[in-house]
Amino acid sequence: MLPFLPPPGRGGPPRRCGLPVWFLCLALPALAACASADQGVPPRPPLEERLAAADRLRLEGRAAFAQEEYESILADETLPADSLRAMHARVGCADCRVMRGDFVRGRLDAGLALVELRGGQGDDAAPRDFLACEAERVLGDADLSERLVAQAEDHYQQALALADSFEARDLLLYRLYLCDRFAGGTDLARRLRELRSHEREEYALLTSRFVTRQARPAPPAPVARAPEGPQVLPRANWGARPTRSNKDPMTDVFRVTVHHSGVRFTALDAGAAARQIAAIQRGHFARGWADIGYHFVIDPAGRVWEGRSLADQGAHAGNFALNRGNIGVCLLGDFTSQPLPAAQTSSLLRFLEFLRAEYKIPAGSFYSHRELNGTACPGPPLAEAVHQFRASVGQSVMASP
């Protein structure tokens, strides 16, 4: 069972390598064969590296990117569908789906992988058990996310029977503690005593993943179905200069990233906002970009302005891979130093809900810029608004029949 690691960029000692013994047993003979055939061959097969990279992304909570990577591994023709590596990718992919709120497909994929893992024969029992433990844990997470507490508990108990390390056991025991909490259990202290220490960072992450939906104050009422499209002021209204040719077409939209412009701005009149947006475009041209980087801009009065055309991939999240399928929404202002106006916040939440319904974007795929890479953007209050939006969507999904 894989632990949840803290997000990248935090301090603390490096984590020890958690490779199970069975992994080395599988990998080392393969590496020895490679080395004898050709000394120039890299020490690890690319597929193994890609799996490790996908695992890292997943453990950092970057489920959308991890899922892409697992899917590309599964599409590799050289990978036999019933191999352990394929199973590894399938279980990882299912975990990503659950993390992104796609519980139906996540359950299906984890369940199918589990059937094959349990039916497997041969001398690879240890890795099969490890992956089966992961699959049971993914099924439990899907159930716990939807408050199907008894079912979640059942899956976690199955996983516990397969867990091969103290760390794996602790993380499962903590999930069982959360199950007790939701079921109104009274023996919580005993559950916590079962853990070797109940002050680990992973537990706080798990709590925030499963509990914040209930514990946080109610955000603005979620909209159950696609709302009317919001009014978006066209580019011409801010005097946009023509877009240049050095751009990529937008792929299917599957995520949204929220930014601030990083420049203090509080004016409420439309003319000042238009001038500010035009200045951002000039700044982005100066960086050699094809256009303003963001697809939409929201001013302090709550007006939504069209930025770069949605037909074009944006330039806002940090690099080409992060910009793929990613709608960039920028709020005018510097929210590391100024408060977030209420009109701007409520306009953003309405607009995000519109995008979610329009493009069928999972709640977990709405990001603050700082969740994707090392930046202060979009400042604490705006990051919190995005967090609350995700929480409100979680509530609306659970409230719907």
Beta carbons of 398 and 391 less than 8 angstroms apart: no
Burial of 392 (0-12, 13-18, 19+ CB in 10 A): buried
Q: Is 88 in the site for Zn ion (CB under 5 A)?
A: no
| Touching Zn ion, residues 249-268 (CB under 5 A) | 259
Distances 41 to 31, 55, 78, 80 between C-alpha atoms, Å:
9, 23, 18, 22
Nearer to Zn ion, 172 or 385 (CB): 385
The CB-of-295 to Zn ion minimum distance in angstroms stands at 13
Nearer to Zn ion, 58 or 259 (CB): 259
Q: Which of 272, 328, 280 is nearest to 300 (CA)?
A: 272
Q: Is 348 in the site for Zn ion (CB under 5 A)?
A: no
Nearer to Zn ion, 22 or 285 (CB): 285
Nearer to Zn ion, 176 or 377 (CB): 377
The CB-of-369 to Zn ion minimum distance in angstroms stands at 3
Q: Is 295 in the site for Zn ion (CB under 5 A)?
A: no
From the CB of residue 298, how many other CB atoms can be counted at a distance below 10 Å? 27
The CB-of-259 to Zn ion minimum distance in angstroms stands at 3
| Touching Zn ion, residues 187-216 (CB under 5 A) | none
Nearer to Zn ion, 191 or 369 (CB): 369
Q: DSSP secondary structure string, 190-249?
A: HHHHHSS-S--HHHHHHHHHHHHHHHSPP-SPPPSSPPPPPPEE-GGGGTPPPP-S---B
Q: Which H or E element spans position 331? A: strand 326-331
The CB-of-297 to Zn ion minimum distance in angstroms stands at 12
Q: Is 350 in the site for Zn ion (CB under 5 A)?
A: no
Distances 191 to 92, 289, 367 between C-alpha atoms, Å:
28, 55, 34
> With CB under 5 A as the contact rule, which of the stretches 3-11, 228-236, 361-369, 379-387 interacts with Zn ion?
361-369
Nearer to Zn ion, 348 or 377 (CB): 377
| Touching Zn ion, residues 362-391 (CB under 5 A) | 369, 377
Q: Is 284 in the site for Zn ion (CB under 5 A)?
A: no
Q: Is 97 in the site for Zn ion (CB under 5 A)?
A: no
The CB-of-367 to Zn ion minimum distance in angstroms stands at 10
Q: Is 85 in the site for Zn ion (CB under 5 A)?
A: no
Residues that contact Zn ion, how many (by CB under 5 A): 3
Cα 224 from Cα 185, distance rounded (Å): 32
Beta carbons of 232 and 304 less than 8 angstroms apart: yes
Beta carbons of 65 and 84 less than 8 angstroms apart: no
**Which residues contact residue 1 at a Cβ distance below 8 angstroms, ignoring those fewer than 6 apart?**
130, 133, 134, 137, 159, 163, 164, 165, 167, 168, 171, 172
Q: Is 361 in the site for Zn ion (CB under 5 A)?
A: no
Q: Is 128 in the site for Zn ion (CB under 5 A)?
A: no
The CB-of-296 to Zn ion minimum distance in angstroms stands at 13
- Residues near Zn ion (CB under 5 A) are 259, 369, 377
